[in-house]
A and B are shown apart, each in its own frame.
Chain A
Amino acid sequence: MGAPKILITIHTVGGVFVWLWFMGSCTKEGMWNNALTLLDAWMAAFFTFPLWLAGTFITISMLKPGPDDFYTLFAIVMCMGWILYLVSFVIIHAITDYLSQTKVAFHPIADKIGAVLFAWSLASPLGIFSWPILILVMLAAAGQ
């Protein structure tokens, strides 16, 4: 097995692990908490995206990268996206925690089903932000 294929396998295993982690640690939190966390995660993603695009254009125009600077530029853009996303998430989550200090009660069955569904979806924004590196690894695998 070549190195890119190993990385793709690790990425898949890691993705399953993250999904299991959310299922294991967030299902008990209940539907209201998980729904708010998912909302915060997606709001942070929508908030980050325009800033990330603007940051990418500013970085390219400032650095004026040559043909050998692809990986440097990729590293800057990738880390900038992640840091913007994580900072936005922390801010939005803190605001939500302040605004909603009490759990909203639902019917126990609805609460259980909702908690599982929302916990199941929590990994989705992280998966989307991991697509750039996955595409890079797939290109490396295709080039072998």
Chain B
Amino acid sequence: MKARCMSRLSFSALAAASIFLFARPAFAQGLPGATEGMPWQVAALFTVNWVLVAAGVAMMSRPSKRSEKPKKSIDEESA
């Protein structure tokens, strides 16, 4: 559990650092500069799309609760 948490934290840090490095020129120019040459709606839709992707990732990477061994039947338990 701890290893899973650590790997998720490190992946998140890696992603945040990469996005910051690549998007830094746009952030440095401020919002009007960041959306220069592009309607603001495109940037807004892009953000909404990634929020929905993140929701999908969270749902799909949820750990399974399946057991390794089959549950004993009532007959086996009583015997």
What is A's interface to B at a CB cutoff of 8 Å? 1-4, 6-7, 9-11, 13-14, 17-18, 20-22, 24-26, 28-29, 32-33, 37, 41, 71, 74-75, 78-79, 82-83, 85-86, 89-90, 93, 97, 100-103, 105, 122-123, 125-126, 129-130, 133, 136-137, 140, 143-144
- Asked whether B64 lies within 8 Å of A24 as measured between CB atoms, the reply is no
Number of A-B contacts (CB under 8 A): 146
Whether the pair B38, A130 counts as a contact (CB closer than 8 A) is no
Would you give the shortest CB distance from A1 to chain B, in whole angstroms?
A: 6
Please determine whether A21 and B42 come into contact, CB atoms closer than 8 angstroms: no
B52 shortest CB reach to chain A, Å: 4
20 A-B pairs whose Cβ atoms sit less than 8 Å apart in the complex: A10-B23, A17-B14, A20-B11, A25-B63, A33-B66, A71-B39, A82-B49, A86-B56, A89-B56, A101-B66, A102-B71, A103-B66, A126-B53, A126-B56, A126-B57, A129-B56, A130-B49, A137-B38, A144-B37, A144-B38
Known: A7-B43, A13-B19. A102 touches B35 (CB 8 A): no
User: How many residues of B sit at the interface, in one of the four size bands?
Assistant: 35 or more
Interface string of B30-65 (1 = CB under 8 A from A): 000011111101110110111011011101110111
How far does the alpha carbon of A102 sit from the alpha carbon of B23 in the complex, in Å?
Answer: 45
Q: Which of B66, B67, B70 has the most CB of A within 10 A?
A: B66
Tell me if A21 and B61 are in contact (CB < 8 A): yes
Interface of A is mostly: helix
B48–A6 touching, CB < 8 Å? no
Complex partner residue of B67 from A74, A78, A101, A143, CB under 8 angstroms:
A101
Tell me whether A78 and B19 are in contact in the complex, defined as CB-CB below 8 angstroms, given that A22-B60, A25-B61, A29-B63 are known contacts. Answer: no
